[in-house]
């Protein structure tokens, strides 16, 4: 019975589960402990959401601990694993992936990686615009903040989001992090000019929305909002933005911010924005109408912070830029505050602001009346001006205040004069003398010189120079001219204004005016053409420059080259002009011509000056004006080539000493090179000036024909010296002098009678007793250490042998020319000798035997200098 029941139960009961079979195919949950970030990064490739989420959360937590951890993750190449997760289907996974990526965008490498692709900025922008999850909005906006800090990222954001309305929508988010990130995006875009325009032109742009952020309890949001407003107001030329700021009650919002002491740390930012706003006069008027002047003045008086006091004080002074502001400040008692602050001020910044305020208030009548009663005001202002420890900004402000006080108040002028112990000059002559002394200091500066020329100072000074009634006034004027002659521009103007002619025609005045002759000498030294024309001599130390000119025959009155160009008259006699500037064919490194570049700069300057006056000149008018003002000095490429050729010759002859002589100091002369250079240069000049037929002795006739051809060719009597191919005494001597000045060969140019001219050089000499015939050989062969002029000069063997050879040649040449008793000692041929101590003692023959050195006191020299022009009557007509 029991067995049957059992069988029935088995046959009719439920089927049992095989638990052993189920446990064989099921994977038991695995609990892992990940200790290294690299292992967690590998788990980011897992397909199971739970593991993926835990790995992303752990990595995000690890990266948030420090920036060093972020760099470790970057080095482990986490970026390529985290990027796919930002589009994961699971919201929490996307959150942690976006959080980790936002933290990693701080690293420039990650930021550059995201910017290389055009997909990421549009993606995060869409997330920020469309995603309703607050966390995704926070992290995506944080990523956009970091990307927009880069100018390329800002450009990409503007390109992909032409409509920036979403940022204004998100700054109204209840989440403070979203607000902070979006206002920072606006701030980053404002750093770009195009971005600022896009932000402002957005349909939902609203300043009140930004003002509302001022009331946030988070200082970072407040700071960013203030920075955005300050950036907008910095565009003070944008009248639309300034009007928008006034219409939206921006001033009230800023003052409300200042009224809250809990936001004390950001008051300096608010004051800077107020300073920007007050650069607009309409804003100043609005501020005064709403009582802002009294509010900012009260804030300045109540604040205990020194820096905030300075900022508020600076704003108060800015209000004085307008008449409305000066009137309101005067009613607030600003005058007493300024004077009291100035009296005890020791800080340069306070002195600067105070002096600016005094200078501005001085232009308001009631205020200057109050300021004029303060005795110490002028003295304290002068003390600031004279304090060399103060920065120039403070001293400049003191100068501004002093100038305004003296302009608007007579009492201030009396106080100023009283400080020096005098109220006025007893006589008019003393006033003139004081003016001359003041001009001697003011005209040293370029600005002072230009102002002196602009008011025609040289013409007015000429009246003092010719004042026969007061010797002290004339003496002061002469001393002033002498001092100003150090400026070549003023010296040239003085010669043009006939100072030199007047002083030479009144040489008797030197008996009563002590500095008369020294002033003439100063004018001569500053204007070598006039010196040569009037004295007939240029010394060894007179170095010719570009623009030096010589008249073939002296005429009265002496013509000034600038007048020739300006008035376009052509002298009857030729004028030889020196112009060694680089020829037009020479090109600058940037491919432009130097002369053309200078002329173009002059044209641009004329255009700017005329445009500022509302006058617009055509190109033809500008070119005509330049030609009238500056003339057309003919280029002289031949003279430039002469210099280059001579330098090449010197390199070949004096290769070791070339740099020390040609490129060295012009006031030192290598004695051993004087004779050889003079001979070489004389022969060079003779070859250039001998004409097509050197055998033709009728130089005068050839020269007349040659000059006529040149004048017809260039259309003027102002002839560049290098164009001459035929030359007599004057032409050759002039060319020798000009070239000698360029190769450090001290040369004197002398003009004689009957059209003659010659050059003199200095060769240090030593007379040898006639009975000591072996002394010269002893000097040449042994080279003793005899001190002639310069001591302790060591010589290389190569220079010693070269100098012996040159010395022997000179001795042979001297013997051929029957010059006995004169020799050049060995020791005098080597040292570098100051040219100031040298005296001319030889004439260089340029006509009869080019290169011959003629002793200056010999009969040959007298006949050379007094020779008339003689024409060979046997020459063909």
The Cα-based distances of 71 to 67, 139, 663, 724 in angstroms read 6, 19, 59, 79
Q: Please write the tens of the pLDDT for every residue from 358-387.
A: 888 888 888 888 887 777 888 888 888 888
Q: Please write the tens of the pLDDT for every residue from 344-354.
A: 778 888 889 98
Mean pLDDT estimate for the chain: 75
Residue 876 is predicted with a pLDDT of 39
Residue 868 is predicted with a pLDDT of 47
Residue 551 has pLDDT above 50, yes or no: yes
Residue 737 is predicted with a pLDDT of 92
Residue 111 is predicted with a pLDDT of 79
Residue 736 has pLDDT above 90, yes or no: yes
> What average pLDDT does this structure show over 427-452?
84
Between CA 724 and CA 735 the distance in angstroms is 10
Residue 415 has pLDDT above 70, yes or no: yes
> What average pLDDT does this structure show over 767-778?
49
Q: How confident is the model at residue 128 (pLDDT cuts 50, 70, 90)?
A: confident
> What average pLDDT does this structure show over 837-864?
86
Residue 793 is predicted with a pLDDT of 32
Residue with tokens 């015939």: 773
Between CA 233 and CA 134 the distance in angstroms is 32
Closest CA to 168 of 213, 222, 126: 213
Q: How confident is the model at residue 671 (pLDDT cuts 50, 70, 90)?
A: low
> What average pLDDT does this structure show over 561-568?
57
Q: How confident is the model at residue 817 (pLDDT cuts 50, 70, 90)?
A: very low
Residue 696 has pLDDT above 50, yes or no: yes
Between the two ends of the chain, the Cα-to-Cα distance in Å is 176
Residue 169 has pLDDT above 90, yes or no: no
Residue 785 is predicted with a pLDDT of 39
Q: What is the 3-state secondary structure (H, E, C) of 656-692?
A: CCHHHHHCCCCCEEEHHHHHHHHHHHHHHHHHHCECC
Higher pLDDT, 557 or 875: 557
Between CA 56 and CA 43 the distance in angstroms is 9
Q: Please write the tens of the pLDDT for every residue from 33-51.
A: 455 565 666 656 666 666 6
Residue 79 is predicted with a pLDDT of 66
Residue 628 is predicted with a pLDDT of 41
> What average pLDDT does this structure show over 75-84?
66
Residue 40 is predicted with a pLDDT of 64
> What average pLDDT does this structure show over 290-313?
86
Between CA 182 and CA 381 the distance in angstroms is 50
Buried (b) or exposed (e) across 158-179, using 16+ Cβ within 10 A? beebeebebbbebbebeeebbb
Q: How confident is the model at residue 811 (pLDDT cuts 50, 70, 90)?
A: very low
Higher pLDDT, 74 or 662: 74
Q: How confident is the model at residue 759 (pLDDT cuts 50, 70, 90)?
A: very high
Q: Which alpha helices (DSSP H) does 718-844 contain, by range?
A: 729-742, 775-782, 797-816, 826-829
Quote the percentage of the chain above a pLDDT of 70.
69
Instruction: Name, in order, each residue with C-beta under 8 angstroms of 403's C-beta and a sequence gap of 6 or more.
Output: 359
Q: pTM for the full model?
A: 0.50
Report yes or no: 47 and 25 within 8 Å, Cβ to Cβ: no
Higher pLDDT, 160 or 213: 213
* Least confident residue range of 16-30, 191-205, 306-320, 538-552: 16-30
* Least confident residue range of 148-157, 458-467, 646-655: 646-655
> What average pLDDT does this structure show over 243-257?
88
């Amino acid at each position: 019975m029991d067995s049957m029941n059992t069988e029935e139960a088995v046959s009719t009961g439920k089927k049992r589960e095989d638990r052993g079979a189920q446990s064989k195919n099921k994977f038991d949950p695995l609990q892992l402990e990940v200790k290294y970030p690299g292992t967690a990064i590998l788990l980011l490739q897992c397909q199971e959401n739970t593991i993926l989420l835990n790995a992303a959360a752990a990595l995000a937590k690890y990266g948030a601990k420090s920036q060093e951890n972020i760099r470790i993750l970057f080095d482990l190449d986490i970026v390529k694993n985290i990027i796919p997760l930002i589009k994961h289907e699971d919201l929490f996974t996307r959150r942690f992936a976006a959080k980790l990526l936002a933290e990693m965008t701080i690293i420039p490498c990650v930021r550059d990686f995201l910017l290389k692709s055009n997909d990421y900025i549009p993606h995060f922008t869409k997330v920020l615009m469309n995603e309703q999850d607050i966390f995704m909005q926070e992290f995506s906006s944080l990523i956009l903040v970091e990307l927009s800090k880069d100018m390329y990222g800002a450009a990409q954001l503007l390109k992909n989001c032409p409509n920036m309305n979403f940022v204004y929508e998100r700054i109204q988010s209840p989440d403070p992090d979203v607000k902070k990130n979006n206002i920072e995006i606006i701030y980053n875009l404002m750093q770009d000019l195009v971005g600022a325009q896009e932000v402002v032109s957005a349909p939902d742009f609203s300043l009140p929305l930004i003002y509302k952020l001022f009331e946030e309890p988070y200082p970072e949001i407040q700071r960013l909002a203030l920075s955005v407003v300050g950036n907008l107001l910095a565009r003070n030329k944008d009248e639309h933005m300034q009007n928008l700021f006034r219409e939206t009650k921006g001033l009230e919002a800023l003052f409300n911010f200042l009224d809250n002491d809990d936001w004390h740390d950001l008051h300096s930012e608010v004051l800077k924005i107020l300073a920007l706003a007050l650069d607009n006069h309409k804003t100043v008027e609005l501020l005064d109408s709403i009582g802002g002047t009294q509010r900012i003045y009260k804030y300045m008086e109540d604040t205990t912070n020194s820096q905030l006091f300075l900022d508020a004080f600076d704003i108060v002074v800015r209000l004085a830029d307008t008449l409305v502001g000066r009137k309101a400040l005067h009613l607030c008692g600003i005058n007493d505050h300024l004077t009291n602050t100035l009296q005890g001020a020791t800080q340069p910044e306070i002195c600067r602001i105070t002096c600016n305020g005094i200078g501005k208030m001085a232009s308001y009548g009631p205020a200057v009346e109050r300021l004029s009663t303060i005795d110490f005001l002028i003295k304290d202002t002068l003390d600031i001006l004279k304090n060399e420890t103060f920065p120039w900004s403070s001293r400049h402000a003191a100068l501004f205040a002093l100038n305004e006080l003296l302009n608007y108040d007579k009492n201030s002028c009396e106080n100023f004069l009283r400080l020096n112990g005098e109220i006025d000059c007893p006589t008019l002559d003393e006033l003139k003398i004081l003016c001359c002394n003041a001009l001697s200091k003011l005209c040293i500066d370029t600005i002072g010189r230009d102002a002196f020329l602009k008011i025609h100072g040289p013409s007015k000074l000429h009246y003092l120079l010719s004042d026969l009634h007061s010797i002290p006034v004339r003496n002061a004027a002469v001393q002033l001219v002498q001092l100003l002659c150090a400026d070549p521009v003023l010296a040239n103007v003085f010669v043009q204004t006939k100072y030199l002619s007047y002083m030479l025609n009144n040489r008797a005045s030197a008996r009563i005016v002590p500095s008369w002759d020294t002033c003439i000498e100063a004018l001569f030294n500053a204007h070598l053409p006039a010196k040569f024309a009037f004295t007939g001599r240029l010394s060894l130390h007179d170095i010719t420059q570009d623009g030096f000119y010589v008249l073939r025959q002296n005429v009265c009155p002496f013509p000034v080259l600038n007048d020739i160009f300006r008035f376009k008259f052509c002298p009857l006699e030729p004028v030889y002009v020196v112009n060694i500037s680089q020829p037009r064919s020479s090109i600058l490194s940037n491919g432009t011509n130097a002369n053309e570049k200078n002329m173009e700069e002059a044209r641009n300057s004329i255009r700017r000056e005329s445009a500022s006056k509302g006058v617009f000149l055509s190109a033809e008018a500008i070119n005509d004006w330049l030609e009238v003002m500056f003339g057309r000095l003919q280029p002289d490429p031949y003279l430039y080539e002469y210099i280059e050729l001579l330098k090449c010759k010197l390199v070949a002859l004096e290769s070791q000493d070339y740099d020390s002589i040609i490129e060295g100091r012009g006031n030192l002369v290598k004695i051993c090179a004087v004779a050889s250079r003079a001979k070489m240069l004389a022969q060079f000049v003779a070859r250039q000036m001998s004409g097509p037929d050197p055998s033709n002795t009728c130089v005068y006739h050839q020269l007349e024909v040659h000059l006529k051809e040149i004048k017809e060719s260039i259309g003027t009597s102002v002839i560049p010296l290098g164009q001459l191919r035929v030359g007599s005494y004057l032409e050759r001597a002039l060319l020798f002098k000009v070239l000698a000045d360029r190769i450090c060969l001290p040369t004197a140019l002398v003009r004689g009678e009957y059209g003659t001219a010659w050059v003199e050089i200095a060769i240090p000499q030593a007379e040898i007793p006639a009975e000591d015939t072996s002394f010269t050989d002893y000097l040449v062969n042994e080279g003793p250490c005899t001190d002639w002029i310069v001591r302790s000069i060591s010589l290389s063997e190569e220079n010693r042998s070269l100098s012996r050879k040159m010395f022997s040649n000179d001795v042979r040449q001297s013997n051929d020319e029957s010059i006995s008793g004169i020799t050049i000692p060995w020791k005098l041929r080597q040292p570098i000798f100051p040219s100031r101590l040298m005296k001319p003692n030889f004439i260089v023959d340029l006509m009869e035997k080019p290169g011959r050195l003629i002793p200056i006191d010999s009969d040959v020299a007298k006949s050379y200098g007094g020779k008339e022009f003689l024409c060979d009557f046997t020459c063909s007509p």
